[in-house]
Amino acid sequence: MEKNHVRISVRNFVEFLLQEGDIDNRSGGMDLDAMQQGARLHRKIQQRMGSNYTSEVSLKKTYDLEGIFLQLEGRADGIIKDEEGVCIDEIKGVLADIHQMEKPVKVHLAQAMCYACIYAEDNQLKEIAVQMTYANLETEEVKRFRELFTSEYLREWLDELLAEYRKWASFSIEWGKIRTDSIKQVEFPYEYREGQKELVLSVYRSILRKKQLFIQAPTGVGKTLATLFPSVKAVGEGLGEKIFYLTAKTITRVVAHQGYEKLREKGLLFKTIILTAKDKICFMDETNCNPEYCPYAKGHYDRINDAVFDGITQRDVFDRETIEEHAKKWRVCPFELGLDISLWMDGIICDYNYAFDPNAHLKRFFADSVKGDYLFLIDEAHNLVERGRDMYSATIYKQDFLQAKKVLGNENERLKKALAAVNKKMLEMKKECDDFRVLESVPDLYFSLSKLMFEMERYFDENKSKKVEEDVLGLFFKVRSFLSVYENLDENYQIYEENGSSGEFKVCLFCVNPGANLSKYLDKGVSSIFFSATLLPVKYYKGLLSTREDDYAVYASSPFRGENRKILIGGDVSTKYTMRGPDTYKKYAQYILDTVQTQKGNYLVFFPSYQFLEDVYMEFLEVSKGEKIEYATQGPYMSEEAREIFLENFTEEREESFVGFTVMGGIFSEGIDLTKDKLIGAIIIGTGLPQIGRERELLKEYFDKKGENGFNYAYLYPGMNKVLQSAGRVIRTEKDRGIILLLDERFKRNEYRAIFPREWEKIELCTISNIKREICEFWFEIENNYTL
């Protein structure tokens, strides 16, 4: 959208205006046009058509809608010129029996008619034909529907659609002017903290130059506003059209929402939405999207456009509650309503997967042919490395195919035969694999899975009225993911097969470096800003989150005085496996007891694993007998209610110290704010290194071959990130004071200390014999020099 001009693809235009009917996921939900088989069949059909056939013809035309100029654009699959005249050919790959088709699908035909109208007008034709070519993706059989239209009829038909779309285009233009005028007046809502203004300028310059920026910014710098404010200003200057604030956790989405609210208090007019996962926002007991089960799915598309227009013209802010309220008012699916409203929003706050996950991304913004002036603000960006690996990896288990075959019973022999073929192939692979084996490729397995996918799609299509077994539906999504990943394999992947200890056999496509896959989505936007309090070393994150060589990086200084914290390394203990045992656990327990006894307050203790937590906790109960200390432990599967109860311990008034036993990398090691005297110490046990495993060793070997230090990439950097995140719980504001105690002799080594943040310039060593004295000295200085 630019001034009074609006651009939209022909496909999006007709699908948006002509959608109707129910939401129905019983066909399996595969986007057939995105399938590589469909693309190959398209090309094959085009190549057969002869010299009078021109394929992939770009078409666009601008229409004046009473002062609003709408540009329709797209690419016709083919244009035929022969003795019968000119014909627009639109090809669609389907799995349905084409012999049962009696007429073209409405939106397919409408897409071709739009191309025909544009071409006829540009070439002054009085009439033009439209041909819909349907091809079965399995058999490659073709069925065609051809119809002749006068150009006058096509223009009248298109004029009706254009008139219907005018209110949407008008809304975009008018709101864009209102938004831009408000942005020009907005100023930063606070007095700049130390280093914050420089950060704001760095973000703006990066957007202006269309670069990616990596920001290492300690807690307290105000990263959210320091990235949001310049991004909003950039939108006002026409440097971007839509801001995606991407996060890994719910709490950081709330912080982003609050950031926009602060700017609104300064006069900003900016439409924003927080997207919520389908299983959380669904009104039904079970997320089963079909009209026979869900009343909100029935007739959803008949009402959705009116629901969206009503919403976007009445309010600027959408969160879960407002979306749910609006969905009930219009009786539409709340999840799909949120996605459709997001098209008209200026700021979208959502999880990483809505932008980067090939199985969950917003196709409205990130489909293969879609690109926009997006600005990506990626919060807690250190989390994106492992999340990216998960998104772009795929695994299949042999037992799943046997289970699916079993639940089918006596029905659908073709599908059962396809399942048996995959199981047979995996059985052959299992016999050749003693324990674990890295493979170059698995073409035979891919071929068997491709045939199975066709049969599963056929099964879903033939059984729309029946409830699909969960085992079959779940396997469908796993197979689809595996095929999709396999078709995009490159040097950033390792393929392996493994026999589990319980006889479970799996084949995995493991993404060792997600940077290239992430870049496919990041390149759809203008600029990306990665920021975190723990983005060290920045070279590691730049290499795994991006493929560009010219990315910027900045290190923001901490606004807090170093005297507010005391960082100690306990060099007389170790969490190495060879050192573990009752004596070691007892020594750690004594460290904890001495620390929390020296100064009354609330403490968090972070462990490398639940087992280590349990071992030290049992010793702590022994050494602390008779002492007035309260404590609570983190469980491995805590509900939201249990988490809240755990955190409430830090807000209670008490006469004695409280100790929370938790694990590094868990729910309490990042994303929580325990300010002032709610937390006065973090005791970090161990270096957080991941356990040695198959995939970790593959990572190590991969980066060794790349000339990097494989151990650092696979173990050291991910582990130390957990340490730094845990330590970051202590000092959250300028009024916070506290102890950070690092208990492992490896923290004394140069390779570990090289990753410490710049603001940790003063670190002291301690032992179990002098820990109390060191802590006493710190609190004595605090009490005599500062006012808490």
The model's pLDDT over 428-438, given as tens digits with 9 standing for 90+, comes to: 999 999 899 99
pLDDT-based confidence at residue 98 (cuts at 50, 70, 90):
confident
**Single-letter residue type at 230:** P
Residue 178 confidence (pLDDT) above 50:
yes
More confident residue, 37 or 63: 63
**Three-state SS at 436:** strand
Least confident segment among 211-220, 366-375, 402-411, 725-734 = 366-375
**Single-letter residue type at 120:** A
pLDDT at 310: 97
Distance CA 304, CA 327 (A): 9
Residue 62 confidence (pLDDT) above 70:
yes
pLDDT at 465: 62
pLDDT-based confidence at residue 37 (cuts at 50, 70, 90):
low
Residue 34 confidence (pLDDT) above 70:
no
Do the bridges between strand 374-378 and strand 272-274 make them parallel or antiparallel, or are there none, so unpaired?
Answer: unpaired
Distance CA 432, CA 310 (A): 61
Q: Which two tokens stand for residue 314?
A: 């009445």
Average pLDDT over residues 205-223: 93
pLDDT-based confidence at residue 78 (cuts at 50, 70, 90):
very high
Q: Which two tokens stand for residue 513?
A: 């470096």
The DSSP letter of residue 2 is B
Q: pTM, whole model, 2 decimals?
A: 0.90
What is the domain partition of the chain in residue ranges? 5-167, 280-345, 392-511, 562-785
**Three-state SS at 216:** strand
pLDDT at 558: 85
Q: Count Cβ atoms within 10 A of the Cβ of residue 190 and give its class: 0-12 exposed, 13-18 middle, 19 or more buried.
A: exposed
**Single-letter residue type at 271:** K
Q: Which two tokens stand for residue 547?
A: 């493929």
Closest of 83, 69, 96, 77 to residue 457, by C-alpha? 96
Closest of 694, 778, 780, 682 to residue 729, by C-alpha? 682
Closest of 377, 349, 70 to residue 240, by C-alpha? 377
- Backbone dihedral region of 76: left (phi > 0), alpha (psi from -120 to 50 degrees) or beta? beta
Residue 528 confidence (pLDDT) above 60:
yes
**Three-state SS at 347:** strand
Give yes or no for a contact between 771 and 597, defined as CB atoms under 8 angstroms apart. Answer: no
Average pLDDT over residues 764-787: 89
pLDDT-based confidence at residue 753 (cuts at 50, 70, 90):
very high
pLDDT at 786: 53
Q: How much is the mean pLDDT over the chain?
A: 92
CATH 3.90.320.10 fits 5-167, yes or no: yes
pLDDT at 1: 47
pLDDT-based confidence at residue 43 (cuts at 50, 70, 90):
confident
What is the CATH code of the structural domain delimited by 562-785?
3.40.50.300
pLDDT at 444: 95
Average pLDDT over residues 301-317: 96
Closest of 644, 564, 638, 629 to residue 592, by C-alpha? 629
Backbone phi and psi for residue 653, each to the nearest 5 degrees, phi listed first? -85, 130
Average pLDDT over residues 541-548: 95
Residue 2 confidence (pLDDT) above 60:
no
Torsion, Cα of 237, 239, 242, 245 (10° steps): -100
Query: In the chain, pLDDT over 70 holds for what percent of residues?
Result: 96
pLDDT at 288: 85
CATH topology classification for 392-511: Fumarase C; Chain B, domain 1 (1.10.275)
Closest of 72, 47, 69, 68 to residue 58, by C-alpha? 72
Helices (H), 624-657: 640-648
Average pLDDT over residues 124-146: 91
Distance CA 54, CA 36 (A): 21
More confident residue, 620 or 360: 620
Residue 588, CA distances (Å) to 140, 740, 749, 776 in order: 68, 15, 20, 19
Backbone phi and psi for residue 246, each to the nearest 5 degrees, phi listed first? -105, 135
Q: Which two tokens stand for residue 305?
A: 């456009």
Distance CA 281, CA 326 (A): 12
pLDDT at 26: 64
Q: Which two tokens stand for residue 16?
A: 């948006």
What length is written for the chain?
788
**Single-letter residue type at 363:** K
Closest of 361, 394, 423, 424 to residue 486, by C-alpha? 394
pLDDT-based confidence at residue 52 (cuts at 50, 70, 90):
very high
Residue 787 confidence (pLDDT) above 60:
no
| Residue 262 neighbours by CB under 8 Å, 6+ apart | 189, 225
Residue 60 belongs to what H/E stretch?
strand 53-65
